[in-house]
Amino acid sequence: GAAVQAKASNKAEAATGPVQVLARGKKLDRPLKVAVVGGGPSGSCTAEILAKAGIETVLIERKMDNMKPCGGAIPICMIEEFDLPMEIVDRKVTKMKMISPSNVSIDVGKTLNDKEYIGMCRREVFDDYLRKRAEANGTRLVNGLMLRMDKPTTADGTYTVHFSNYDESEDGRVGKPDSVEVDIVIGADGANSRVAKEIDAGEYDYAIAFQERIQIDEDKMKMYEDLAEMYVGDDVSPDFYGWVFPK
């Protein structure tokens, strides 16, 4: 397949021109084009960096308002590193308790100083911001579901990513068949990655997460004003943990 060398950071200035494709050391007569499948934090940040480097980038995300089961906790270092606005943070947590099966709790938030906190955010808000920032930096954002991928048959060939395009749908529910030809495909589409299946990435272990959002009375919410909780044990979750992360 094609290869390229490009450097950029998430705060880098946009490149002045397209990045050319190299195949076996020979420059081809087309700019490099990349498809990123999955518009979560990893996919969106990848697309933004590529677009800033002058690479023609397509970001394909199946559900733009996805309330993904996720605690939504982000450390303060992440807010600074990824230049995130405070508008995406619903609540600043300064206390974090871990509760054992025997109901013994440990305060793991004592390591925070007076100026530090753990940000609580909703994934549909967080992801939407990152996708729109990638789009503002030159990424083509597509609301679509990847179906399959045709691999290149020559050294300088391209991948063809087939997907259902909901942007072109008449009712927004049944996608219109669409495709895009690219030099590189990046799979950022989660545990059930279709990209991983297309390249036969192998088997791996996974866990299923359940999430419920509950609105409680203001007087009860005072307990969680700046507190988050994590529960461990088979009675809560046999292979991971449970959480109460206030928003």
Quick check: is 147 in a domain?
yes
Residue for token digits 């880098």?
12
Q: Which amino acid is at 137?
A: N
Q: Do 128 and 237 have their domain in common?
A: no
Q: Which amino acid is at 201?
A: A
What confidence category does residue 6 fall into, taking pLDDT thresholds of 50, 70 and 90?
very low
Q: Do 145 and 232 have their domain in common?
A: no
> What span, in angstroms and rounded, lies between the C-alpha atoms of 34 and 36?
6
DSSP assigned state of 47: H
Domain boundary among 160, 176, 198: 198
> What span, in angstroms and rounded, lies between the C-alpha atoms of 97 and 99?
6
Q: Do the beta carbons of residue 243 and residue 229 sit within 8 Å? A: yes
Quick check: is 193 in a domain?
yes
> What span, in angstroms and rounded, lies between the C-alpha atoms of 37 and 195?
8
Strand 73-75, strand 118-120: pairing: antiparallel
pTM attached to this predicted model: 0.86
Q: Do 189 and 137 have their domain in common?
A: yes
Full residue range of the structural domain in which residue 128 is found: 20-66+124-198
Q: Do 191 and 130 have their domain in common?
A: yes
* Residue 45 main-chain phi, psi, to 5 deg: -65, -40
Condensed to tens digits (0 to 9), the pLDDT of residues 134-168 reads: 999 999 999 999 999 999 998 889 999 999 999 87
Domain count of the chain? 2
Q: Do 128 and 240 have their domain in common?
A: no
Q: Do 128 and 194 have their domain in common?
A: yes
Condensed to tens digits (0 to 9), the pLDDT of residues 70-105 reads: 999 998 899 989 999 999 999 999 999 999 999 899
